[in-house]
Amino acid sequence: MSPVLDTAFIPPRDREEVLRNAVWEAMVAVDIDHHPPAEDISVRIGLGTVGPIRICSARATAATLRRTERLAREDEEPAVTLGVQMTGSSVVVQNGRECLLRPGDCAVYESIAPYTLLFDEGVDYRFLRFPRAALALPDRLLRDITAVPLGSDNPVARLAFTYFSQLAVSDELHQGVHAEAVVEPSVELLRAVLTSQHGNSSLAKAPLEATLSLRVTHYIRKHLADPDLSAARIAAAHDISVRHLYAVLSRSGISLGDWIRTHRLAECRRELADPNGRLRTIAAIGRSWGFVDATHFSKVFKQAYGISPRAWRDQHHPRSSA
């Protein structure tokens, strides 16, 4: 993976802000405490994606990364990060546990709970961020396995270290058909590591049903703009019946039609208030999020927000009086 950010080309006074913004936008929101002064901060970061998996390969001077309670509460897409220790050592703290990682070790930590990463010797590390829904593992298993060293005593973890350390830096695997080919094996390998480390085969046998609601809502978010999004399509994508789909969502207190409409309206509201909100007509914005009838769109928008789409846009983009 070619570095896309190198502090050698950034003025010292800007380094902390540039690094923070890069990490927040590409990976996860964390507070970063650089141990050396700004002029001595040295960081080289490579970023990539493999399907839904986000990757960061980093070499840097000593730092502490903190995912605070406030940042964890604001998480919109729960994720699990796999940390791969290349050289040196680091410490991972989450859920009341603390583990020391040495070269060849890995550990996972969740975005929905506070954590701290200590790199007192500097950073030589691979970060791989997986959507929590994609792993389809029970909440209890993930809580039990965070901040636990996955290393030499687990042969599956040893295999995973070699695999993920190479995946993180292979540009060829981050694009096209190669990327598509390794997404599912990557998810399944991490699942195998975590379930084997946990040692509870009963949790490993039936995780899909336990997280079905989470995976369904993740799928719907991803396809909100598709005009043919329907209960039948969603059910087929998860190999279940429409009746089972409605039952699963009902147990989570979700009404499918209301949920889709609410989230589509929220996207329309965001686009109308965006700086480019006047570049398209209101009807076009509505259609792009599944509202094919402009009159119906205006009606449900006003019912939801107490204001028409046009008035909402005008609040954020007043017309020129010239």
- Whole-number pLDDT of residue 200: 59
In sequence order, the 6+-apart residues with CB closer than 8 A to the CB of 35 are 61, 62, 63, 64, 120
Dihedral sign, Cα of residue 72, residue 79, residue 154, residue 83: negative
- Whole-number pLDDT of residue 234: 93
Percent of the chain with pLDDT over 90: 54
The DSSP annotation for 265-311 comes to HHHHHHHHHSTTTTSS-HHHHHHHTT---HHHHHHHHHHHHSS-HHH
Question: pLDDT digit string (tens) for 133-178?
Answer: 888 788 888 889 999 999 878 898 999 999 999 999 888 888 778 8
Q: Which of 287, 271, 269 is nearest to 225 (CA)?
A: 287
pLDDT of 204 > 90? The answer is: no
Which amino acid would we find at residue 157? A
3-state DSSP assignment of residue 66: strand
- Whole-number pLDDT of residue 36: 94
- Whole-number pLDDT of residue 39: 92
Q: Which neighbouring-strand residues pair with 118?
A: 64, 91
pLDDT of 214 > 80? The answer is: no
pLDDT of 117 > 90? The answer is: yes
- Whole-number pLDDT of residue 207: 53
Dihedral sign, Cα of residue 195, residue 161, residue 21, residue 266: negative
Mean pLDDT of the chain: 88
Q: What is the radius of gyration, based on Cα positions, of the chain?
A: 22
- Whole-number pLDDT of residue 300: 93
Decide: 79 and 218 in contact? Cβ < 8 Å.
no
